[in-house]
Amino acid sequence: MQKLLLSVDRLSTYVGQFFAYAIAILTVVICWEVGSRYLFNNPHDWVFDVTYMLYGVLFMMAGAYTLAKNGHVRGDVLYGFFTPRTQATLDLILYIIFFIPGVVALVYAGIFFAAESIAINEHTTQTANGPPIWPFKIFIPVAGGLLLLQGFVEIIRCVICIKEGEWPSREQDVEEVDVDKLKAMVSHEDEKKGA
């Protein structure tokens, strides 16, 4: 079972890392447009549309990645003080009541939203000759599907934690900086230099 959970984590990680390159593309497009506008007095009206679509794709495709890394913000300050079983029970209830219905609705509506956009060859209306928007809308049900898949993995993790009393392991990617570990490393290095 753990192999299945970690394989879905790896898929979410791979997709999230792949779409992180949208940040680099977005940066290049914006820098190019700023240079084109202010240095050559040649602005392009389609750049605005492309930048918000790139940002939207990045945001949507990072959802499953963030869920796989347990990186979504929690609004409850008490949650960290609960035992793992209590945390898992609370998470399980919230996944079933809110997450699953919400993401299923996103996927369902996204499929029709994207299909309609493809059928009419929809273009953006922000500018007179805007780029096609249907490729962007295709990512809505795709991102929702990946998020739903990762959500099912998180539900299984909750059930395992309720049974065993501790959270199963996750695929490791990046870690936030732990200030206490960083201080310990710095003081350890200072001790070495002083000796």
Apex 50 CA angle, 45 and 54, nearest 5: 160
Res 43: pLDDT: 85
pTM of the full structure:
0.78
Of residues 160, 151, 158, the one with CA closest to residue 98: 151
145: amino acid identity, one letter: G
d(CA 22, CA 16): 10
Q: How many domains does the chain have?
A: 1
Average pLDDT over all residues of the chain: 86
The pLDDT-based confidence of 70 (bands split at 50, 70, 90) is: confident
Place of tokens 């953006």: 124
Give tens-digit pLDDT for 88-107. 999 999 999 999 999 999 99
Distance (Å) of CA 42 to CA 33, 36, 39, 139: 9, 5, 8, 31
Q: Does 140 score more than 90 pLDDT?
A: yes
Domain of 115, in residue numbers = 2-194
Percent of the chain with pLDDT over 90: 37
Percent of the chain with pLDDT over 70: 90
Q: How many CB atoms lie within 10 A of CB 84?
A: 14
Distance (Å) of CA 173 to CA 38, 47, 62, 124, 178: 40, 33, 14, 36, 15
